[in-house]
């Protein structure tokens, strides 16, 4: 289905809507055409998605975990706004999951240190009170 008098339109293979011939992403269903079908360039992997996944794996004294979460959210937003020009959503999600696991581990470690610290000072106080009687 082409518009009358023009060959500047093509039919999207996913949703069958008519879009411009040079479009790399369908505006109706967000189908991204590959470089073979468009003759253009392929979608690029988002750099923040790569960084998020790597930092989520490495942790680096939990600074990496925090950065993995931040970079993961940034990359997901950029990928969504790129309308198919960028990829790497899976890497961004992996980085987010690993980052959140690292942050949760840090919080549990802090809680254990606080409880053990409070427990030892509490038992010292009880010993001092008990020795007075």
* Per-domain boundaries in the chain: 1-42, 43-132
Angle between helices 89-132 and 63-81 (to 10 degrees): 150
pLDDT digits (tens, 9 = 90+) for 35-89: 444 445 678 999 999 999 999 999 888 899 999 999 999 999 999 998 888 999 9
First to last CA, the chain: 96
What integer pLDDT is reported at residue 36 of this predicted model? 46
- Measure the CA–CA gap between 12 and 1, rounded to whole angstroms: 10
Name the pTM for this structure: 0.62
Q: Is residue 8 classed as helix, strand or coil in its secondary structure?
A: coil
Domain 1-42 CATH (choose: 2.40.50, 1.10.1060, 3.40.50, 2.30.30): 2.30.30
What integer pLDDT is reported at residue 47 of this predicted model? 96
What integer pLDDT is reported at residue 58 of this predicted model? 92
């Amino acid at each position: 289905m082409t518009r009358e008098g023009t060959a500047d339109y093509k039919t999207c293979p996913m949703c069958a809507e008519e879009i411009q011939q040079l479009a790399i992403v369908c505006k109706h269903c967000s189908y991204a055409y590959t470089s073979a079908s468009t003759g253009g360039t392929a979608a690029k992997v988002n750099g923040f998605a790569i960084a998020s996944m790597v930092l989520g794996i490495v942790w680096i004294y939990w600074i990496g975990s925090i950065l993995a979460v931040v970079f993961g959210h940034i990359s997901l937003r950029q990928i969504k706004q790129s309308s198919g020009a960028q990829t790497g959503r899976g890497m961004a999600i992996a980085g987010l999951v690993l980052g959140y696991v690292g942050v949760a581990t840090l919080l549990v470690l802090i809680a254990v240190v606080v409880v053990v610290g409070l427990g030892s000072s509490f038992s010292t106080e009880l010993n001092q009170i008990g020795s007075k009687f």
